[in-house]
C-alpha cells in the first residue's frame, strides 16, 4: 500500500447547525457524528432553534421524497414513551438533515450513539433517510470501569451507518486494518499471519489513560475505531466531516490517511485541544 500525502484539516469554532448550513451540498464522502448523549433536557433556546430548523427542513424535498408521513407519526408515538428523547431528537434531527444534505452521492454517514438512544434513533433515521439506506449497526465493545451487579454491565456503544445511495456507495474492506483470528490454529498459517477482516462487532480498548493518544478530553474516542471507518468508507483525497469533533480524533486520523477533514465544535476547550493535536490545521471562528 503506498502512503498518501497528509490531508488538510479545517476546524470551525461554532454551533454545528449554522456552520453546516454554509457548507456545500454533496461535498463529503464520509460524515461521522458523535453527539453528546441524552443526559437531560436541552436548553429552551437551543430546542426552539432546533425546532424552527426542523420545520424548515420538513418543507424540503428530503422528507416529502422519502417517508414524510410515516416519520411524523413515528416521532409522535416515540414522544409518548420518553419526552426526554423528544428534546434530544429536537436537537439532533436538524443536524442529521444537514449532514445528509452534505453527503456525497457515494457517501456514508456514521452516527455514534449509546444504548439508551440507539434504538429510537434507528427507527427515526430509517424513516428520515429510508430503511433501504441503512447499511450496518456497528457494536464497539470495551471492558473498562465499574461493573454493575444488578444487571449485565453496559460496555458497548452503537454506531449506526447509512449510505446515500445503496447501489453506489464507496466501501473498501481491503483497506481496513485486520485483526487476529480468535482461533488461529483453525486457519492456515498464511491466513493467521494476515489476520481476519473485522465484522460488525469491534472489540477495542477505550483511549488508554496514559499514552500517546490521550488528550484529556473526556469523551475522546479511540483512533483505532475512527481509522477503520475512514479506511473503509473514504479514499485518499476525499473529504471527511465531523460536526461534533471534540478532541479532533476524526481529523487526526483522516489527515494521517491522506483525507481532508472539516471539524466543528462549539466548545472552546475542544478547539484548544484540536489546535494542539493538529498543529497544521486552519482554525476559523
Query: Which residues sit at the interface with ligand SAM, rule CB under 6 A?
Result: 15-16, 34, 36, 217, 219-221, 244, 246-247, 249, 264-267, 270
The smaller minimum CB distance to ligand SAM, of residues 126 and 271, is found at: 271
**Rounded Cα–Cα distance for residues 79 and 60 (Å):** 23
Residue ranges with strand state E in the chain = 9-13, 28-33, 103-113, 134-141, 156-163, 201-203, 239-242, 260-265, 282-284
Per the structure block, which three cell numbers stand in for 13? 469554532
Residue nearest to ligand SAM as judged by C-beta position: 246
Choose between 117 and 126: whose C-beta lies nearer to ligand SAM: 117
Do you know the residue count of the chain?
285
Tell me 247's DSSP state: T
User: Measured from the CB of residue 160, what is the shortest distance to ligand SAM in angstroms?
Assistant: 15
Counting other chains too, the contacts that 269-274 makes at CB distance below 8 Å and 24 or more residues apart are 269/217, 270/217, 270/245, 270/246, 271/11, 271/13, 273/215, 273/216, 273/217, 273/246, 273/247, 273/248, 274/11, 274/245, 274/247, 274/248
Q: Give me the least distance between CB of 195 and ligand SAM, in Å please.
A: 25
Q: Which is nearer to ligand SAM, 18 or 27 (CB)?
A: 18
Distance, CA of 221 to chain centre: 11
- Which residue lies nearer to ligand SAM by CB, 54 or 106? 54
- Closer CB to ligand SAM, residue 185 or residue 218? 218
CB of 249 to ligand SAM, least distance (A): 3
From the CB of 219, what's the least distance to ligand SAM, in Å?
4
Looking at beta carbons only, is 15 or 165 nearer to ligand SAM? Answer: 15
Residue 266 CB, nearest distance to ligand SAM (Å)? 4
Min dist. Cβ of residue 217 to ligand SAM (A):
5
From CA 102, how far away is CA 74, in angstroms rounded?
A: 25
Nearest-approach distance from CB 14 to ligand SAM, in angstroms: 7
Q: How far apart are CA 181 and CA 184, in angstroms?
A: 5
- Rounded to whole angstroms, the Cα distance separating 173 from 207 reads 24
Nearer Cβ to ligand SAM, position 39 or 210? 39
Cα 234 from chain centre: 14
Amino acid at each position: 500500500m503506498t502512503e498518501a500525502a497528509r490531508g488538510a484539516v479545517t476546524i470551525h469554532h461554532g454551533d454545528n447547525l449554522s456552520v453546516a448550513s454554509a457548507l456545500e451540498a454533496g461535498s463529503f464522502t464520509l460524515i461521522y457524528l458523535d453527539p453528546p448523549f441524552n443526559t437531560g433536557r436541552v436548553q429552551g433556546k437551543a430546542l426552539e432553534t432546533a425546532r424552527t430548523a426542523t420545520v424548515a427542513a420538513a418543507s424540503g424535498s428530503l422528507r416529502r421524497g422519502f417517508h414524510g408521513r410515516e416519520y411524523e407519526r413515528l416521532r409522535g408515538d416515540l414522544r409518548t414513551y420518553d419526552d426526554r428523547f423528544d428534546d434530544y431528537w429536537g436537537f439532533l434531527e436538524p443536524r442529521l438533515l444537514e449532514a445528509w444534505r452534505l453527503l456525497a452521492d457515494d457517501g456514508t454517514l456514521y452516527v455514534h450513539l449509546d444504548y439508551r438512544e440507539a434504538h429510537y434513533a434507528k427507527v427515526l433515521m430509517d424513516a428520515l433517510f429510508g430503511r433501504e439506506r441503512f447499511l450496518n449497526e456497528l457494536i464497539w465493545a470495551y471492558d473498562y470501569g465499574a461493573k454493575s451487579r444488578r444487571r449485565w454491565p453496559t460496555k458497548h456503544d452503537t454506531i449506526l451507518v447509512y449510505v446515500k445511495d445503496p447501489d453506489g456507495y464507496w466501501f473498501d474492506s481491503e483497506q481496513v486494518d485486520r485483526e487476529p483470528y480468535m482461533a488461529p490454529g483453525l486457519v492456515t498459517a498464511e491466513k493467521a499471519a494476515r489476520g481476519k477482516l473485522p465484522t460488525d462487532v469491534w472489540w477495542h480498548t477505550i483511549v488508554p489513560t496514559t499514552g500517546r493518544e490521550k488528550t484529556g478530553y473526556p469523551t475522546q474516542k479511540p483512533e483505532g475505531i475512527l481509522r477503520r471507518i475512514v479506511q473503509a468508507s473514504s479514499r485518499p483525497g476525499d473529504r471527511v466531516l465531523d460536526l461534533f469533533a471534540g478532541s479532533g480524533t476524526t481529523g487526526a486520523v483522516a489527515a494521517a490517511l491522506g483525507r481532508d477533514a472539516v471539524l466543528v465544535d462549539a466548545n472552546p476547550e475542544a478547539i484548544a485541544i484540536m489546535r494542539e493535536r493538529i498543529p497544521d490545521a486552519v482554525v476559523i471562528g
